[in-house]
Amino acid sequence: MVAVNSDISDLKEKEGEILQRNEEIIQQQEELQTILDDLSQKNILIQKNNKKLEKLSIVASETDNAIIIMDNEGEFQWVNKAFIKRTGLNLEELISQKGNNIFKTNNYSDIIKSSMDIVLKQKISTTFKKEEKNKEGEQIYSQITLTLIFNPDKSIKNIVSIKSDITELIKYEQEITSQKEEIIASINYAKKIQKAVLPSKELADKILNEQFVFFKPRDIVSGDFYWIKQIMNFSIVVTADCTGHGVPGAFLSMLGSSFLNEIVTKQRLDNPGEMQDKLRNKIKKSLNQTGQKREQKDGMDMSLYIVDNETRELQFSGAYNPIYIVREENNDKELIQLSADRQPIGIYTKETKFSTQKFQLQENDCVYSFTDGFADQFGGNSGFTKYKSKRFKELLLKVSSKSMIEQKEILDKEFYEWKGNTGQLDDILVIGVRVTS
């Protein structure tokens, strides 16, 4: 009986050892499975990286860009066919001539080394341009991009240098720059011609006595123009805004000035409405405007007034553009508007003869003619608000008692303060004339 109990005790002990051993085996199997899963994941990553490297190798081999692959310390490992073709050096010859590490040679420019530092320290790609000579000694321009290949643990595995030949692009840019400079030089010369055609300050002072001309083209040349002439005791002032601005507007402004010189002569002085009728006919004829559909509707908006310096009677005709007269009596100011006809100088579907209005001026009245550029300028606090006619009228009422020089300075300051950082929208032209004895 004692022997049986001893055997049972041994069996239980062995059974416990077996269970413990089974638990150890299960634990080892689980650990082994974890290792296998980890290895499987790493194998998948390796396969993906191999595929990426294979694709990179194919692309690098076939591209026209010269490619160098370095390790994470800058040692050269591989160059593609395009590099060999462009430089005449294979990998062994490159190392022989330049050294095996980009950081340990003086054969590379500071910009390359500093760019490499940026790439390695910040782990970002960078691009820069380089001027150099090819193996034939010809001047070439290259764009070099330095980028990185990372290991699965995000450490740097390789540095890749991709050099593109941008010589033709640079030459094209240089050609465009040269052409642009020639065009600007031509436009600057056109500016001199336009300035010569416009009335000089000396002529304006002689004919109008107290006056200012606030003239700010948006571009080098302007589509706005003014024309001032004296015929006997009559002073004539024209303020015009041609279709467009810049060169197209300037061409039209030259036509306008030329035609006004033909229309207004010492032998004949029509009323302003008749003068605008004749000008419209000449513009339509010169631009071959017949009223056909899809025809260019080029023309100009204009205010034209004549002052009899003996009687101070003003005659006015306008094509869209009115004139303002500011009168001050007993410290009270009044702005009087002479409205324009709602039609341009040019082809128009509802064309009628231009009307002429008469107005009796008084001593110290200020007459303002202008184009729409000032009132249409965007600016203010938002940068998206138009100045508008109401604000423009208030400004003229405010400044009219000042000298004409001061008025011009205030308009200039107001315009730039309103405009702020907003670009100038259109050509600006304002002419102020004070009636004096």
Let me know if residue 50 belongs to a domain. Answer: yes
Q: Copy the structure tokens of residue 243.
A: 């279709």
Distance CA 66, CA 86 (A): 7
368 in any annotated domain: yes
| Domain stop point among 153, 170, 187 | 170
Question: Is 105 part of a structural domain of the chain?
Answer: yes
H helices, E strands: number in the chain: 10, 18
Question: Is residue 130 located within the same domain as residue 259?
Answer: no
In a domain, 272, yes or no: yes
Q: Which residues have CB under 8 Å from 6's CB, separation 6+? A: none
pLDDT exceeds 70 at position 9: no
User: Which residues, including other chains, have CB under 8 Å from residue 151's CB and lie 6 or more apart?
Assistant: 157
At residue 270, the pLDDT reads 82
Q: What is the CATH number of the domain that holds 34?
A: 3.30.450.20
397 in Cβ contact with 428 (< 8 Å): no
The tens digit of pLDDT for each residue in 236-274 reads 999 999 987 788 889 999 999 999 999 998 777 889 999
Query: Token pair of 126, please?
Result: 């960078």
Burial annotation 200-234 (CB, 10 A radius, 16+ → b, else e) = eeeebeebbebbbbbbbbbebbbbbbbbbbeeeeb
Cα 300 from chain centre:
27
Residue 19 counted as domain residue = no
Average pLDDT in the chain = 87
Q: For residues 218 and 130, which has the higher predicted lDDT (pLDDT)?
A: 218
User: Do 61 and 154 belong together in one domain?
Assistant: yes
For residue 292, the domain's CATH number is 3.60.40.10
Residues 277 and 386 in one domain: yes
Q: What is 345-393 written as a DSSP string? A: EE--TT--PPP-EEEE--TT-EEEEE-STTTT-EETTTS-EE-HHHHHH
**Per-residue model confidence (pLDDT) at position 387:** 97
The helix or strand, by DSSP H or E, that contains position 271, with its residue range, turns out to be none
Residues 316, 400 within the same domain? yes
Are 143 and 243 members of one domain?
no
CA–CA dist 49, 150 (Å, integer): 10
Residues 70 and 130 in one domain: yes
Q: 227 and 165 share a domain?
A: no
274 and 154 within one domain: no
* pLDDT at residue 293 is higher than 60: yes
Q: Please, which residues have CB within 8 angstroms of residue 331's CB and are 6 or more apart in sequence?
A: none
The continuous run of DSSP H or E covering 333 comes out as: strand 332-338
Residue 181 placed within a domain: no
Adjacent-strand bridge partners of 316: 305, 357
Distances from the Cα of 124 to the Cα of 145, 149, 151, 162, 418, angstroms: 11, 10, 15, 14, 43
pTM of the model: 0.71
Give the total number of structural domains in the chain.
Answer: 2
pLDDT at 58: 52
Angstrom CA distances, 255 to 181, 248, 279, stand at 26, 11, 10
Q: Which whole number is the average pLDDT over 310-332? A: 96
Domain boundary among 170, 185, 210: 170
Place of tokens 């050609």: 175
What is the extent of the structural domain holding 107? 24-170
Residue listed under structure tokens 């965007």: 378
Q: Do residues 223 and 81 both lie within one domain?
A: no
- CA dist 78 and 63 (Å) reads 15
Residue 144 in any domain: the answer is yes
CA atoms within 13 A on the CB side of 33: 6
Q: Note every long-range contact of 335-340, with CB atoms under 8 Å and residues 24 or more positions apart, other chains counting.
A: 335/393, 335/396, 335/397, 340/301, 340/303
- 22 vs 103, more confident: 103
Claim to verify: residue 207 and residue 158 sit in the same structural domain: no
Q: What are the tens digits of pLDDT across the range 155-192?
A: 899 999 998 889 888 899 989 999 999 999 999 999 99
Give the separation between CA 239 and CA 363, rounded to whole angstroms: 23
Coil, strand or helix at 193: helix
Looking at residue 110, its pLDDT comes to 76
Contact between residue 330 and residue 317 where contact means Cβ atoms under 8 Å apart:
no
Q: Tell me 282's DSSP state.
A: H
For residue 4, tell me if it sits in a domain.
no
Which residue, of 170, 187, 210, is where some domain finishes?
170
Residues 139, 252 share a domain: no
Give 326-366 pLDDT, tens digit per residue. 999 988 999 999 999 999 999 998 999 999 999 999 999 99
Contact 102, 112 (CB under 8 A): yes
What percentage of the chain reaches a pLDDT higher than 70?
85
For residues 270 and 126, membership in a common domain is answered with no
185 alpha-carbon distance from chain centroid: 20
In this predicted structure, what is the pLDDT of residue 62?
66
Which tokens belong to 308?
Answer: 């009899």
| Helix (H/G/I), strand (E/B), else coil: 327 | strand
Average pLDDT over residues 293-319: 93
